[in-house]
């Protein structure tokens, strides 16, 4: 009774906690309820220390009236249904069977089944890994030379930062947390994409972006190496900006980025609210009820918002635009400091004179009005990250105070520095992998077939062989699979391609425990025991062996998880879960069923087919012959490994590039090998099977990486002096530039500002002559590096030089062409509908502007110069702006009157601005500040921008004219920033674009901007629709069909769409591509060796502890080394076996990370067999000090049936995986096919004889002593 009382109390407490506790995730498998998130405590630094917490409520309009109490009751009902009903059912069933002691057992089983089934049904499909859903994996390395230069420059401009830089330079310990945080802001500004950015060693960072296609790769790389756009803007509020909010609420403005007046001038701008871990980074917008259609609504704080979870659109808030934007380009420094008034951490920033003037005006116009304050939004890449309250006039120095943590300070200073990275990353990633979702879909389909067929065969075999007990085993296997999938869904674990292989393998391995139990029961029955005693003894004796065998496999699985990539970790996760769940289902669940069935007399006897156990083979009598066979196989294998050399390693361990080519027509692999082997070094080719595409997709691996294989250049200056430059040892563009400069001519070379190319200069001072560079040899080095030229001038720039996988792709494009130049590769397919007008309203001409304003450029850093152009900023490119002479008078942002519409004439706003005297020019005097202009109040004590009222006194400032521009150089390729009052060109024409693979809104925007730039056109306004819904331009939403609306003429729109189609339809489809540098490959080698050694040491230690004798552990390790060596040899021999057994899908196998995973799995699986035999040897030996050959033979014969059965079921599974699992697990499954056979053999013919030899040796040593 006490058990039931405790269980009931636990249930009620759990239900109450889930119903009324904080931070409940109701959008889970428990049900689709309304979302109420108390997020005020999540970002304390963005609120005043004294401010009351703000409750954030985002509810569906249909459920908003239900209240929190109703939601809590619904949650309580859901918890009771999921947990309470199965518990009650278990107790009721136990009492009905008059077996009350089994109540908690049945309740536990029922709860497990219900929770697992609910999780699988509600959460299906599971979260797929990047190798199944497609995506991009990039590894960037810190460029230490460039970082030293960058930090030295920082030291000159910022004394405090310089001290930190000097410390960092001396220790080479980089702030990886700050680097990762800034990269997250660049790559995943909205926070809704499942992007993984993490440290990869001490000097590398890994970026994993799922659902990204090859078309997205350039945009992603650009984001990583490009600084962000920072803006300071006032958050529009109902009190000061009534007319702006009214205009933004008009139906015709819905979905637009900018709020425009009737004359087409920009007045307001929508910016997003970034999410991190499900919590809004800035939560000061208050509570609101989101409209179902995403239209704007007023929040409780008087701000206008739109979107949110109820709409499926990102949450956005309206900002007031200024005539001259205050951007990060005016910022000179941002650093952590301390709040001298309130105590605690704070952020201090400095502005140049022009920025100080703009900030002074902006904050003076938005001073507090009584108890009402205005919020100064800090906007990064069109996402608001903070909005401190304006408490006083700020000049060239401001302080942001609040209840900041160290992490908050780090994040905010990073944002204020416009996303500058604390170090310089290499221009190109040292490792790059792109996986098409098409391959993932095909792999999932093959995985389903492999699991289904293997599961069916194993279940049929168990039922036929074990009859009723086989049915119970089948139920245990099915429950095991459900529990594994449920655990992965609940823990949000990725299901990867190796993970699918792990599920398939689990089908075979989970039967192992059942077979052990049943064979023990068979032995007990054969010895004359009753069914009840046979069940008790069978489960009891088998449990120890099952635990021992599974724990050794668990050791190898944990090691595998520690050293593996995400894909390999997916296999380790399924393996660990499979081990744990199989013990629960086989030992606990099966035992409960058998106990109840026997006691209720539903089961009076167990029948099974005959077994091989009990035979009397003299296995150890054949040990010498077996040893000879093993030695021959090992020697042949080692010779094969030596013959293949480093080519036996995949690019995971060797470095290099791997590209999958997609041919228009089928081509024999021999022909592909012939074409490619002549052009690329160390080539390995294997076929990729894709449904309906036989002999059309091939995976080509080559050692070519980085800049490729380089030869020599002939360099000639304008004076006619020539020299030959050997580039065979050059590893980077800087090495090439240095070699050219030191060649002995008057030609010098240096990297371009973006570090993506080389700038050549002639310093000979010759008035005429030709400067030239050409290849000196057969490798066409100059052509590959864009260095083949002959010019009359003294300068030449290469532009971007391809590196990494791009080099291999360029070579493959040349290889797969006919003599007439026609490509043999499949190209991307893009269809463009006829360009048509949008509608009558949107085609009305807007008033023309008579001039343009100079766009402002955000702060740039050493590692953040883009290669071609910015693609991560608003797409509303270069538009017609008002002339300075025709500029509207600045409005008074502190109070905005409602617009008064007149029939005859419509003004953008009818607010009455206060006349403002322009600032007088600042007079420069040494060590003296020029006061503000006469007639205005003296800027007494300027207060900081703070989250709520604070007292801070920055130093006086010198106001410069507002018209000043930032001091940093302007970049003509920079995306311009739209000023308040600028004319927004109306959208006029549209077309529907259909792609052959998914493409994100960000990438599509980039393609449009790139096309307009290459055509020499003004960048148009862009509006994107998918399925009729407006999608933000910076969104990661992807699709294959988009409606693109553009401003400008129909002719220009047609040219832009045709340019996009032309570019993409001439780009080959690369289903998958990857590039791994030597640094990453070296790290992989070390991790693989470490994993193998650690696994062997771990299992030896465990077996030594378990069997209390080192001889058992050493014998097991000898068998494991034997298994690994023979399997390794079989992999090496495939280079020759493929020509004979190619019809059996045997290709040239290589050692990759999945193969290392197979080796570790083999170690665990082989130990299962070995431990079962050793456990029986210990049992047969009893208390005897001697171990004889007869004892070992008896033990092997007694466990022979179990050995054959478990090996057979697992062997069936891995053979199915080998033939049906697909190219991604081909080598993996081949290693397991060989390893399972060899592991079974070694348990009998290697481990046991070695154990006898070691025990005899130990006995003789003891006798001699």
User: How do strand 389-390 and strand 266-273 relate by DSSP bridges?
Assistant: unpaired
Distance CA(332)–CA(336), nearest Å, equals 14
Last residue of a domain, one of 371, 398, 433: 433
Q: Flag whether pLDDT at 1073 surpasses 90.
A: no
The per-residue pLDDT for 43 is: 27
Q: Within this chain, do residues 1067 and 1096 fall inside the same structural domain, yes or no?
A: no
**Residues 790-815: tens digit of each pLDDT:** 888 888 888 778 877 888 888 899 89
Whether 1128 and 1235 share a structural domain: yes
**pLDDT value at residue 276:** 66
Please state, in angstroms and rounded to a whole number, the distance separating the CA atoms of residues 958 and 963: 15
Q: What is the pLDDT of residue 825?
A: 92
Q: What is the pLDDT of residues 809-834, one digit of tens each?
A: 888 998 999 888 889 999 988 899 99
Q: Which of 816, 791, 565 has its CA nearest to residue 667? A: 816
Q: Are residues 1101 and 1234 in the same domain?
A: yes
Looking at residue 66, what DSSP letter applies? Answer: G
Q: Count each helix (H run) and each strand (E run) in the chain, helices first.
A: 33, 42
Residue 137 has pLDDT above 50, yes or no: yes
Q: What is the pLDDT of residues 299-332, one digit of tens each?
A: 988 899 988 766 667 788 999 988 888 887 788 8
- Are 947 and 48 in contact by the 8 Å Cβ rule? The answer is yes
Whether residue 387 has pLDDT greater than 50: yes
Residue 601 lies in a domain: no
Last residue of a domain, one of 1055, 1073, 1091: 1073
Sheet containing strand 747-751, edge to edge, reads 747-751, 758-762, 795-797
Is the pLDDT assigned to residue 451 strictly greater than 70?
Answer: yes
Residue 264 sits in the same domain as residue 142: no
What is the residue-averaged pLDDT of the chain? 75
| Judgement on whether residues 389 and 329 belong to the same structural domain of the protein | yes
Could you tell me the CATH number of the domain that includes residue 425? 3.30.70.3400
1-5, 183-187, 981-985, 1110-1114: least confidently modelled range: 1-5
| pLDDT of 860 strictly over 50 | no
Q: 3-class DSSP state for residue 1021? A: coil
| Contact present, 249 and 295 (Cβ < 8 Å) | yes
Report how far apart, in Å, the C-alpha atoms of 528 and of each of 452, 521, 525, 533, 534 are.
39, 11, 5, 10, 9
pLDDT value of position 967: 36
pLDDT digits (tens, 9 = 90+) for 1222-1250: 777 888 889 989 988 898 899 889 988 99
What is the C-alpha to C-alpha distance for residues 1095 and 1091, in angstroms, rounded to an integer? Answer: 6
Q: Assign 992 a pLDDT band (cuts: 50, 70, 90).
A: very high
The predicted structure's pLDDT at residue 974: 37
What distance separates the 2 farthest-apart alpha carbons in the chain? 119
CA 1234 to chain centre: 34
Mean pLDDT check: name the lowest of 45-54, 289-298, 409-418, 644-653. 45-54
User: Would you say residue 1231 lies in a domain?
Assistant: yes
Q: How far apart are CA 38 and CA 279, in angstroms?
A: 9
- Per-residue pLDDT band for 503 (boundaries 50, 70, 90) equals confident
Query: How would DSSP label each residue in 1044-1070?
Result: EEEES-HHHHHHHHHHHHHHHHTSBP-
Angle made by CA atoms 341, 343, 344, in degrees to the nearest 5: 140
**β-strand partners of 685:** 700
In the predicted model, is pLDDT for residue 412 greater than 70? Answer: yes
4: in domain: yes
On whether both 197 and 148 belong to a single domain, the answer is: yes
Residue 1171 lies in a domain: yes
Residue 1171: which CATH number?
A: 1.20.1640.10
- Report the distance separating Cα 476 and Cα 511, nearest Å: 9
| 1187 and 1225 fall within a common domain | yes
Question: Minimum mean pLDDT among 141-145, 487-491, 694-698, 1205-1209: which range?
Answer: 141-145
- The reply to whether 1124 and 1065 lie within a common domain is no
pLDDT per residue over 560-590, tens digit each? 787 766 767 777 888 888 888 888 998 899 9
> Which pLDDT value is given to residue 311?
67
In a domain, 610, yes or no: no
State whether 6 and 102 are in the same domain: yes
Is 70 exceeded by the pLDDT of residue 730? yes
pLDDT digits (tens, 9 = 90+) for 893-918: 344 444 443 433 334 333 333 333 33
The pLDDT assigned to 1056 comes to: 92
Q: Is residue 220 domain-shared with residue 260, that is, in the same domain?
A: no
Percent residues over pLDDT 70 in the chain? 76
Of the pLDDT bands very low, low, confident and very high (cuts 50, 70, 90), residue 1016 is: confident
Answer whether residue 928 shows pLDDT above 50.
Answer: no
Give the N- to C-terminal CA distance of the chain in Å, as an integer: 62
Based on the domain organization, do 1032 and 1059 belong to the same domain? yes
Residue 545 falls within a domain, yes or no? no
Strands 383-386 and 266-273: what pairing? parallel
Q: Is residue 250 part of a domain?
A: yes
CA pair distance 200, 211, nearest whole angstrom: 22
Q: What is the pLDDT of residues 628-681, one digit of tens each?
A: 999 999 999 999 999 988 888 888 888 888 888 999 999 988 889 888 887 888
Residues 6+ positions from 631 with CB-CB distance below 8 Å: none
Residue 1130 has pLDDT above 90, yes or no: yes
d(CA 1124, CA 47): 60
Q: Phi-psi bin for 908: left (phi > 0), alpha (psi -120 to 50), beta?
A: alpha
**Parent domain of 849:** 830-857+985-1073
- Write the pLDDT tens digit of every residue in 180-237: 777 777 777 655 567 788 887 778 888 888 877 666 777 777 777 666 677 889 999 9
Residues 1026 and 1117 placed together within one structural domain of the fold:
no
The structural domain count of the chain equals: 6
Is 1145 contained in some domain? yes
pLDDT at 872 over 70: no
Q: Are 454 and 507 in contact (CB under 8 A)?
A: yes
What integer pLDDT is reported at residue 950 of this predicted model?
36
Segment 941-952 shows an average pLDDT of 38
From 1073, 1097, 1130, give the residue that closes a domain. 1073
């Amino acid at each position: 009774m006490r058990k039931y009382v405790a269980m009931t109390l636990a249930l009620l407490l759990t239900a109450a906690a889930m119903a009324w506790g904080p931070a409940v995730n109701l959008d889970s498998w428990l049900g689709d309820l309304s979302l109420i998130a108390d997020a005020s405590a999540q970002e304390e630094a963005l609120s005043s220390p004294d401010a009351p917490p703000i409750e954030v409520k985002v509810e569906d309009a249909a459920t908003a009236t239900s209240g929190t109490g109703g939601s809590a009751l619904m949650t309580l009902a859901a918890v009771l249904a999921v947990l309470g009903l199965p518990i009650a059912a278990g107790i009721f069933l136990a009492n009905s069977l008059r077996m009350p002691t089994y109540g908690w057992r049945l309740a536990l089983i029922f709860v497990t089944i219900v929770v697992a089934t609910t999780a699988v049904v509600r959460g299906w499909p599971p979260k797929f890994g990047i190798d199944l859903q497609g995506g991009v994996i990039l590894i960037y390395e810190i460029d230490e030379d460039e970082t030293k230069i960058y930090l030295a420059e920082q030291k000159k401009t910022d004394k405090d930062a310089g001290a930190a830089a000097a410390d960092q330079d001396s220790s080479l310990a980089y702030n990886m947390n700050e680097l990762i945080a800034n990269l997250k802001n660049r790559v995943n500004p909205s926070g809704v994409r499942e992007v993984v950015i993490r440290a990869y060693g001490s000097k590398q960072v890994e970026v994993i972006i799922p659902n990204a296609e090859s078309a997205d790769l350039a945009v992603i790389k650009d984001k990583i190496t490009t600084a962000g756009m920072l803006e300071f803007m006032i958050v529009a509020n109902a009190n000061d900006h009534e007319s702006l909010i009214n205009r933004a609420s008009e139906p015709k403005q819905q979905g637009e980025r900018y709020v425009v007046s009737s004359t087409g001038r920009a007045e307001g701008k929508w910016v997003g609210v970034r999410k991190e871990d499900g919590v809004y980074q800035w939560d000061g917008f208050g509570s609101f009820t989101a409209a179902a259609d995403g239209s704007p609504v007023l929040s409780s704080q008087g701000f206008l918002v739109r979107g949110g979870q109820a709409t499926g659109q990102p949450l956005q808030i309206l900002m007031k635009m200024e005539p001259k934007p205050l951007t990060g380009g005016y910022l000179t420094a941002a650093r952590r400091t301390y709040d001298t008034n309130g105590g605690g951490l704070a952020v201090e920033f400095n502005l140049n004179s022009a920025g100080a003037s703009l900030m002074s005006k902006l904050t003076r116009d938005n001073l507090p009005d009584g108890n009402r304050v205005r919020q100064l939004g800090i906007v990064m890449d069109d996402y608001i990250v903070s909005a401190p309250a304006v408490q006083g006039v700020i000049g060239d120095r401001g302080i942001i105070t609040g209840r900041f943590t160290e992490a908050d300070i780090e994040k905010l200073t990073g944002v204020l520095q416009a996303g500058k990275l604390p170090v310089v990353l290499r221009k190109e990633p040292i490792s790059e992998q792109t996986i098409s979702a098409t391959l993932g879909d095909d792999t999932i389909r093959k995985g389903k077939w492999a699991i289904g067929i293997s599961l069916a065969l194993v279940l049929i075999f168990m039922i036929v062989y074990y009859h009723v007990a086989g049915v119970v085993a089948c139920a245990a296997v099915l429950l095991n699979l459900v529990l594994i999938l449920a655990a992965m869904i609940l823990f949000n674990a990725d299901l990867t391609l190796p993970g699918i292989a792990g599920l398939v393998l689990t089908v075979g391995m989970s039967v192992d425990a059942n077979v052990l139990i049943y064979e023990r029961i068979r032995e007990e029955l054969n010895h004359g025991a009753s069914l009840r005693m046979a069940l008790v003894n069978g489960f009891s004796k088998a449990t120890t062996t099952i635990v021992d065998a599974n724990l050794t496999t668990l050791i190898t699985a944990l090691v595998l998880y520690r050293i593996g990539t995400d894909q390999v970790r997916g296999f380790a996760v399924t393996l660990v879960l499979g081990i744990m769940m199989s013990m629960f289902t086989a030992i606990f669940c099966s035992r409960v069923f058998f106990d109840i069935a026997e006691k209720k007399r539903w089961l009076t006897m167990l029948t099974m087919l005959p077994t091989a156990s009990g035979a009397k083979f003299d296995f150890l009598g054949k040990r010498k012959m077996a040893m000879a066979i093993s030695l021959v196989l090992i020697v042949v294998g080692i010779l094969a490994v030596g013959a293949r050399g480093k080519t036996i390693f995949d690019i995971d361990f060797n470095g290099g590039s791997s590209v999958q080519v997609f041919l228009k027509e089928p081509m024999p692999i021999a022909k592909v090998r012939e074409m490619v082997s002549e052009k690329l070094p160390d080539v390995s080719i294997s076929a990729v099977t894709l449904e309906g595409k036989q002999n059309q997709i091939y995976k080509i691996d080559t050692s070519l990486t980085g800049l490729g294989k380089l030869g020599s250049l002939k360099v000639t200056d304008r004076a006619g002096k020539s020299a030959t430059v050997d580039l065979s040892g050059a590893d980077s563009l800087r090495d090439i530039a240095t070699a050219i400069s030191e060649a002995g001519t008057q030609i010098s070379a240096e990297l371009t500002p973006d570090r993506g190319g080389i700038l050549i200069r002639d310093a000979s001072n010759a008035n005429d002559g030709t400067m030239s560079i050409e290849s000196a040899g057969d490798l066409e080095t100059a052509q590959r590096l864009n260095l083949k030229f002959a010019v009359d001038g003294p300068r030449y720039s290469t532009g971007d030089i391809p590196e990494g996988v791009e080099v291999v792709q360029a070579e493959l494009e040349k290889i797969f062409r006919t003599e007439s130049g026609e490509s043999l590769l499949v190209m991307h397919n893009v269809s463009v509908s006829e360009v048509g007008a949008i509608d009558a309203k949107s085609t009305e001409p807007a008033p023309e502007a008579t001039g343009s304003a100079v766009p402002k450029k955000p702060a740039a850093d050493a590692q953040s110069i883009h290669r071609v152009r910015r693609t991560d900023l608003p797409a509303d490119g270069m538009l017609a702006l008002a002339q300075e002479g025709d500029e509207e008078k600045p409005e008074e942002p502190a109070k905005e009157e409602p617009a008064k519409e007149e029939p005859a004439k419509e003004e953008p706003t009818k607010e009455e601005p206060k006349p403002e005297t322009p600032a007088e020019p600042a007079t420069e005097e040494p060590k003296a500040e020029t006061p503000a202009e006469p007639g205005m109040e003296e800027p007494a004590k300027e207060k900081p921008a703070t989250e709520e009222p604070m007292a801070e006194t920055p130093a006086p400032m010198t106001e410069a004219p507002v018209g000043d521009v930032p001091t940093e150089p302007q970049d003509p390729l920079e995306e311009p920033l739209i000023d308040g009052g600028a004319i927004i060109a109306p959208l006029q024409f549209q077309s529907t674009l259909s792609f052959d693979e998914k493409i994100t809104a960000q990438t599509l925007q980039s393609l449009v901007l790139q096309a307009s730039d290459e055509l020499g056109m003004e960048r148009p306004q862009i509006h994107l629709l998918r399925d009729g819904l407006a999608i933000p331009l910076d969104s990661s939403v992807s699709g294959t069909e988009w409606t693109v609306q553009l401003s400008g003429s129909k002719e220009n729109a047609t040219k832009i769409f045709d340019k996009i189609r032309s570019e993409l339809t001439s780009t080959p489809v690369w289903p998958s591509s990857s590039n791994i540098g030597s640094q990453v490959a070296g790290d992989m080698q070390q991790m693989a060796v470490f994993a193998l050694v650690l696994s062997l040491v771990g299992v030896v230690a465990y077996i030594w502890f378990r069997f209390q004798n080192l001889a058992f552990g050493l014998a097991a390790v000898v068998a494991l080394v034997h298994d690994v060596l023979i399997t390794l040899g079989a992999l090496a021999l495939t280079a020759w076996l493929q020509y004979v057994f190619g019809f059996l899908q045997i290709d040239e196998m290589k050692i990759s990370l999945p193969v290392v995973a197979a080796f570790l799995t083999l170690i665990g699986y082989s130990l299962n067999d070995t431990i079962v035999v050793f456990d029986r040897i210990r049992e047969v030996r009893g208390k005897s000090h001697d171990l004889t050959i007869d004892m070992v033979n008896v033990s092997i014969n007694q466990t022979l049936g179990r050995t054959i059965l478990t090996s057979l079921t697992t062997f069936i599974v891995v053979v199915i995986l080998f033939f049906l699992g697909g190219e991604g697990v081909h080598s993996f499954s081949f290693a397991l096919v060989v390893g399972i056979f060899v592991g079974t053999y070694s348990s009998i013919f290697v481990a046991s004889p070695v154990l006898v030899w070691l025990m005899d040796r130990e006995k003789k040593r003891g006798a001699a002593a």
